[in-house]
Amino acid sequence: MTKLVLASKNPKKLVEMNDILSHLGVEVCSEAEAGVDVEVEETGTTFEENSLLKARAVMEASGMPAIADDSGLCVDALGGAPGVYSARYGGPELDDAGRYRLLLENLRGQMTRTAKFVSVITCCFPNGDVICARGECPGTIAYAPQGEGGFGYDPVFFVPGLKKTFAQLSPEEKNAISHRGKALEQFKVKLEEYLEKN
């Protein structure tokens, strides 16, 4: 049984990772279970850099293989913003609704509404090996929020093929097309190959 530590304090991410990876004989545990509590400053300018910073810090603190994900929303008309700053867009006083309202405000009158969600998952092993996987989900930014589900920017992220926002999809529907679902699927394949060879 391979055990990975998840570099995150988010219990939802832990459940999601275990759901997808458990049948590979991989168990993902929390930082608390591994006896570490790591605060990582996300100083990178790319999703790859930030997920590597998080995974490497937790691997070094715990001495165990560690996995991290970094994600965000990139809006074409804003030159890719908020991007790696998605969780901090508009400053610390804003909540999820405040952040997507600010995004709508910054896109007011803008006809080019294309955007994508990006997720990068990185796993660092104590021997220096690194596995990295990236998933993207294209969409557009709606003119007004719709739907109650999900989190973050979900109410304003519209999927043209389904004519719904992420917040109007069930978790299963969202996982099937989302950036994180795609990154995890690719990660699963790469991890399986790695475990077979090692």
Active-site annotation, residues: 70
CB nearer to ligand IMP: give 76 or 192. Answer: 76
Residue 116 identity (one-letter amino acid): K
In the numeric block, the tokens 């279970």 are attached to 33
117 near ligand IMP, rule: CB under 6 A: yes
Q: How far apart are CA 179 and CA 148, in angstroms?
A: 20
Q: How far apart are CA 182 and CA 156, in angstroms?
A: 20
CB nearer to ligand IMP: give 14 or 87. Answer: 87
Question: Per-residue x/- marks for ligand IMP, 72-101, CB under 6 A?
Answer: xx------------xx--------------
> Within 24-164, where are the H helices?
47-62, 96-106
3-state SS class at 111: coil
CB nearer to ligand IMP: give 62 or 71. Answer: 71
Q: How far is the CB of 127 from ligand IMP (least distance, A)?
A: 26
Chosen residue from 115, 152, 177, 187 binding ligand IMP by CB under 6 A: 152
